[in-house]
Structure 1
Amino acid sequence: MRVTTIFFVIAALLMLSETQAEVVLPRVLGHNMVLQRDKPVCIWGTAVAGEKVSVTFSVQRKETIADVAGKWQVLLDPMNASSEGREMIIAGSNTIKLENILVGEVWLCSGQSNMEFTMRKSSKMKRPDVAGQNPVDELQYAKNPSIRIFQVNRKELIKPDSLHRGWSIARDSALRVFSAPAYFFAKELYSRLHVPVGVISSAVPGSAIEPWIPAEAFNDHAFFINYKVQNDPGKFYTPMIHPLVPFAIKGFLWYQGETNCFLNERIEYTHKMEALIGRWRSDWNDKDLPFYYVQIAPFKYSESKDNKVTLNKESLPEFREAQAAALKIPNTAMIITTDLADNLSDIHPSYKWEVGRRLALLALARDYGFKEIVSTGPVYHGMKIKGNKIELSFSSVGGGLVSKDGKTLSDFLIAGKDKKFVPAQAEIKGNKVVVSSNAVNSPADVRFAWVETAQPNLYNKEGLPAQPFRTDNILINQFKPDSKK
């Protein structure tokens, strides 16, 4: 019995040794993945300490030695885009062959339920009145082998997958459970670039912003020295973002804020965004990575029965102001969604295809050289008081300002120095809007879309809605980005 026992112990140790000696890859490296073009591409994993590991892809072959902790990585030289599915071979004591790999554009998409919102849910939304292929039916048409998707599972990303099957072609059952905003972003990008596009969705319904930021990022931020950070800092960052580092990407898409709006946050949310953006860019060792995000949609926050704090009808506009203040952070941009809610009692706006398209417009105009694309709606630029009227000027007017429905401009308020805002008449004059009210003889300030249910009709001719604003904006002037972030 003793000899038999010793035999089994030795056999088990040998099997364990062989298992530990194997080259293991992180889950994000797998069949069907897209590698970021025009950047060094990191391929990494674990092996036994001192083990020689080689990576072969296309005409490149790179070698390295696993360090004392068993960690290894190589950098592939920057590559041109390629729609040819090719093999990658990673060899050490074992050999891993990854198949059908493309080279193109890769974006990481994160946030809460409106980013997680699946294509299956999107297929059940109210059908928009559009010519041609209807976006509600996209699951029937999605067959493009050059669009690839990677769904992050918070419980599995840190675990290796011996089958290396995390990535999928954007179609069928894999696409049904994937982020609709991320997919439609990828689709629009492909339609313009005609190169492979990979999108990674890492989102959790109901999540605040804090779990996406490690605690030490708050400790390194001056604003939070005397501010107690709650909501589980790092809870989702640790299992759902950090394991993706340093997979090469082009940039980030972010759709989150509803949970923090329910907490009635203001400038603190802007600083939290700065902490998140700064840390994620630091993780990927690129302080200029694009960060594009969604300003949250109209919703009756003040009527919600589950509020932890008391909200009023201006709580949402003031939170949006905090989101807009984050535009001071370099290489950020924001889309507006005031027109994308068809049920103001549903916090999940229907038109995720348009969310994805508008995010893609930002990337196309800012990162891919499509300078002719107007990527945002009108943005308040300045005001002049002219007698009993206020003249407003805007940037991002594109082909010109318009009333989308042809009716009188809606959702403008005006006040004198007493701050008693009343509904105002507003008229487009060239690329400016002139605002007035018979009840205000000496106007001082204007507010636009300054109520949670506002769905205004001021657009540019490119069909993009104007950003909500107030001319007496105190919050945005308070925020000064940390130049070190």
Structure 2
Amino acid sequence: MVLQQGQPVAVWGRGIPGKQVAATFKGQKATTAVKADSSWKIELRPLKASFDPAVLEIVSGQEIIKLNNILVGEVWLCSGQSNMEFAMRKIGKLQSPPGAGWPVKELETAHNKNIRIFLVERKKMAPDLTHAGWSVAEDDALRSFSAAGYFFGKELQAKLKVPVGIISAAIPGSRIEPWMPREAFTVLDFFKKQTDSTHKIDGDPGKFYNTMIRPLIPFALKGFLWYQGESNCFLNERLQYTYKMNALINYWRKEWRNSALPFYYVQIAPYYYSKAKDRPYTVFSEPEFWEAQQAALKIPNTVMINTMDLNDNPADLHPVDKWDLGKRLAQSALSKTYHASAATPMGPVFKTVIIEGAAMVISFDYTGKGLVSRNGKPLNCFEMADEQGQYVPATAVIKNNKVWVSAAGIKKPGAVRFAWREDARPNLYNKDGLPALPFRTDSKLMAAFKPE
């Protein structure tokens, strides 16, 4: 496995109450006594990154446990639903690569001993908390592992030149609620209101947290990667989902005793939600759910990864391009967490709007070296509304690193929206190659969300 560098490292388990336990690793030795409830925990002092396989030895009386082949580097936990769970073997099935550089043979060429993976299997974690599932990222172990998580780890290892460990705990089709216990919700004022179904707590809180996340605590981590939301989008959730993200982020950080742990999450992929015929709910607009996800950027130390250009088929809920997704997640970490890259951690995000005559001038955060049309063509996917709220296609141009938007026939603009379609393929990017997030200038949801 890989242990996290630069942080105290917890070693814990169960034993006979009152007995002494000693842990030895890389010249350190620490001891403690087993508590009355049979639990014990030892913290090792922060470690330096190392490619040299080491042994962790744990001794209590005559009992000795030796864990071999341990490296020290960076450790991340990735979680969510099917698009995070999406396994490497599915990429290997591609017959005709749609574009240059698609790593369809990654399973054949992946033999980097410095990337280690741990797949959390729900059925194994509840009775057995030994974390025995660590593997080198290759062969059969990699076949079943998260593609997004692996490509994130591969990029991170290549750039940081330290060992990388990735833990994947994801369940296809899961809502956000099962990934935290009920108490994560009840501490937020939003869910204390209980005025209508918007503030209701359902969806089996704690179902997956108890068996797939809690057993990992307090394993030292650098941060979290999250790709989930499709199931909640099908339920037509909006502001309540933002607060559920608020609850999840707060709770995980609290349980790991680090309120600043990075939480980098992925925009659900473009998909024809409005055309779904097999769901009992009416879904009005995926862009409104993207907006709910984006609102969570108000929570400190978060980044949202744009996927607008990573699904060539909006009829497919599970786009296969997880390598570019993994690279974008890694770029976020390299830029914002490690300060090892001059690139922006994410694509342009709507900041402010002012009216200049018949034009609306849009400013953005995360412009990096500047805004650009990716294909050199006029900017697309912009619409402008008049004072009555009627939207029409608009013209948009980049001037002084801002976007000026106008529309024929509208002399008094009311609002602008961008990429406000499930199948939008906008060409507004920053020069780091990252697309701008969808937005609307008159969003009530963005103003309504107040992080707790």
Letter in 1 for 2:436: A
Which residue of the partner structure matches residue 338 of structure 1?
A: 308
1:271-308, CA deviations, whole angstroms, 9 ceiling, x for partnerless residues? 10011111111111111111110011110000011222
Task: Report 1:53-452 matches (<5 A).
Answer: 53-92=21-60, 93-125=62-94, 127-130=97-100, 134-160=102-128, 165-225=132-192, 226=194, 227-312=199-284, 315-452=285-422
C-alpha deviation, 1:49, in angstroms: 1.2
Letter in 1 for 2:12: W
Q: Residue 381 of structure 1: SS of its match in structure 2?
A: strand
Letter in 2 for 1:439: G
1:51-80, CA deviations, whole angstroms, 9 ceiling, x for partnerless residues? 221111110111111111111110011010
Cα distance in 2 for partners of 1:218, 1:430 equals: 44
Q: Residue 446 of structure 1: SS of its match in structure 2?
A: strand
C-alpha deviation, 1:407, in angstroms: 2.1
Q: Residue 242 of structure 1: SS of its match in structure 2?
A: helix
Contact 1:42–1:75 (8 Å) recurs in 2: yes
Contact 1:342–1:350 (8 Å) recurs in 2: no
1:139-169, CA deviations, whole angstroms, 9 ceiling, x for partnerless residues? 122111110000001111122377x631000
Question: Matched residue pairs, number?
Answer: 445
Q: Residue 274 of structure 1: SS of its match in structure 2?
A: helix
1:107-150, CA deviations, whole angstroms, 9 ceiling, x for partnerless residues? 0100000000001112234625335xx42221122111110000
Which residue of the partner structure matches residue 42 of structure 1?
A: 10
Between 368-377 and 73-82, the greater mean CA deviation after superposition: 368-377
Contact 1:298–1:455 (8 Å) recurs in 2: no
Q: Kindly report structure 1 stretches of 4+ aligned residues shifted beyond 4 Å.
A: none
Contact 1:374–1:462 (8 Å) recurs in 2: yes
Runs of at least 5 residues in structure 2 that lack an aligned partner in the other structure: none
- 1:466 matches 2:436: yes
Cα distance in 1 for partners of 2:123, 2:25 equals: 30
Cα distance in 1 for partners of 2:366, 2:307 equals: 16
C-alpha deviation, 1:382, in angstroms: 1.6
Structure with higher Rg: it is 1
Cα distance in 2 for partners of 1:320, 1:475 equals: 11
RMSD of equivalent CA atoms = 1.3
Letter in 2 for 1:107: W
> How high is the sequence identity, in percent, across the aligned residues?
54
C-alpha deviation, 1:371, in angstroms: 5.0
Paired residue for 1:475, among 423, 445, 450? Answer: 445
Between 236-245 and 360-369, the greater mean CA deviation after superposition: 360-369
